[in-house]
Amino acid sequence: MKVILLGTGTSTGIPEVGCGCPVCHSADPRDRRLRTSALVITDSGHRILIDCGPDFHYQATRLGIDRIDAILLTHEHYDHTFGLDDVRTIAWREDIPIYGQQRVLDSVKARMHYVFSPNPYPGTPRFKLHPIEEGADTSFELFGEQVTPISLAHGALPIVGYRIGSLSYITDMKSIELEEWAKVSGSQLLVINALRYQRPHPSHQSIQDVERLLPRLSERPELTLLTHLSHHAPSHAQISSLLPEDLQPAYDFEYIEVDKAGVHVLPLPAYQEPYTYRDLGRIAYAEAWAKQKELFEAQLEAKHEGRPTESYLLFCEHNPVFTMGKHANVANMLMSEDFLRDHGYDYFTVERGGDVTYHGPGQITGYPILDLERFGLGLKAYIDLLEQSVIELLRFYRIESTLKAGATGVWLDVGDPVKERKICAIGVKSSRYVTMHGFALNVNTDLSPFHLINPCGFKDGKVTSIAEELGKEVDMTVAKHMLASILHRRLSALLPPRF
């Protein structure tokens, strides 16, 4: 498994507001500490967040976290739970399980009452609360890993730490019974709190307390890292010099791999964007087509020369235009080219697949220029990804959509000859697994031009839009950003995992 320490500071963080001490003004980035939290990535790739404090927004955006599979809470204090609302943007699609003591979950439920009301408003995070059972053995399985709660005391408050496989994680501890401390024995990695070096505190232990505890384990961890440090502890460099190699201060965004070979502190891998996004705004079809071909040819040349390719996602709205795919049937064009041009429409025959379609204002036309080999995709799987991304976006607007056998694109009420209608057309060109052209999603589109064609070759085919289905126009910027985010997440998931 892998562990990223998202934050290693106490409730006030470091630097502390208004403080002039040397640690708060240290130039060493390891002395800048966010509120304590950790992200555990299991061997199966699932992501378990331990605590979610008020710095989660910064922690998640810095790392590009776009998925959390479960959350473990140690206790209910502000610095360990007040970031839960920031999970909303990655938790509206499906429930995220949260585990904690019943008292802790009750606190979350009361504080975030708007999430657990009978009719939560759209966009609230979806949480499913799982109380940790009381008793001698409270272990449970999570994504194939055994999770063992470790009971301890935060002053007079009973709280929990967690043993997950070869990791033990304890924070805010003042004292622990020896039978609970024994659960840590055999851990390869122990992350444990130590507020300062030696001065006693009523609810937290010191570094010297940790030093006294470690020999009481039958099997000492290969590496113990100190977290929840305050500015009253010495600096990171000073603590390191005072302690043995197997007991060291942690630091924010420390990245640790734990496997059979041991515990390894590794450089945090650089973030890799799946594509460069460009919104071309409202643009003539010929201009966007030329931009596509320029980027497309550049990637083909890069592949031919053995250089790395780049990926792009272009969004735009076109001036009114009809386009014919390379295998289109001219009979599906119900008006002559001269008629169309006389009435203000452009007309082009292009190299994409598919038949005739219309593009115009209020429609999101997307042109992904992707090297499918980089994402491990074949052409069929790529088209399916585009379709499923649109279906997910429509679900956000509470529009149920689906696919149609023998046809590309996204449809509504498939199989009903009266109601069946198309909301998104897809036509793609691919060469050496590099793509161009893409999809056209009707958002606020004027649908009347579709009467001048058999859309996508379907005689009497009906089309619709998001606005048509909702009975009102929607914000185009929001729709674009939502769809770009969905594509970003789905394509990112196909790249080699960062951590």
Phi, psi of 325 (to 5 degrees): -70, 170
Q: What is the DSSP string of 33-92?
A: BPBPEEEEE-TTS-EEEE---TTHHHHHHHHT-----EEE-S---HHHHTTGGGGGGGSS
The gap from C-alpha 328 to its chain's centroid, in whole angstroms, comes to 39
Rg (CA), the chain: 28
In contact, 422 and 463? CB cutoff 8 Å: yes
Which is nearest to 436 in space by CA: 292, 318, 259, 330? 292
In contact, 263 and 223? CB cutoff 8 Å: yes
Q: What is the DSSP string of 79-141?
A: HHHTTGGGGGGGSSSS-EEEEE-HHHHHHHHHHTHHHHSSSPPTT---EEEEEPPPSS---EE
Q: How far apart are CA 367 and CA 316, in angstroms?
A: 8
Q: What is the DSSP string of 286-307?
A: HHHHHHHHHHHHHHHHHHHTTP
Q: How far apart are CA 315 and CA 389, in angstroms?
A: 15
The token pair that represents 457 in the structure block: 């070759």
Is there a catalytic annotation at residue 52? no
Packing angle of the helix pair 476-492, 379-396 (nearest 10 deg): 140
Q: How far apart are CA 112 and CA 145, in angstroms?
A: 29
Q: How far apart are CA 197 and CA 241, in angstroms?
A: 13
Q: What is the DSSP string of 400-454?
A: --EEETTEEEEEESTT-TTT-EEEEEEEEEEETTEEEEEEEEESS---GGGGGB-
Which is nearest to 60 in space by CA: 253, 324, 205? 253
Q: How far apart are CA 149 and CA 469, in angstroms?
A: 49
Which is nearest to 444 in space by CA: 414, 470, 473? 473
The token pair that represents 273 in the structure block: 């964007």
Q: Which of 52, 316, 424, 456 is catalytic?
A: 456
Catalytic residue numbers read 456
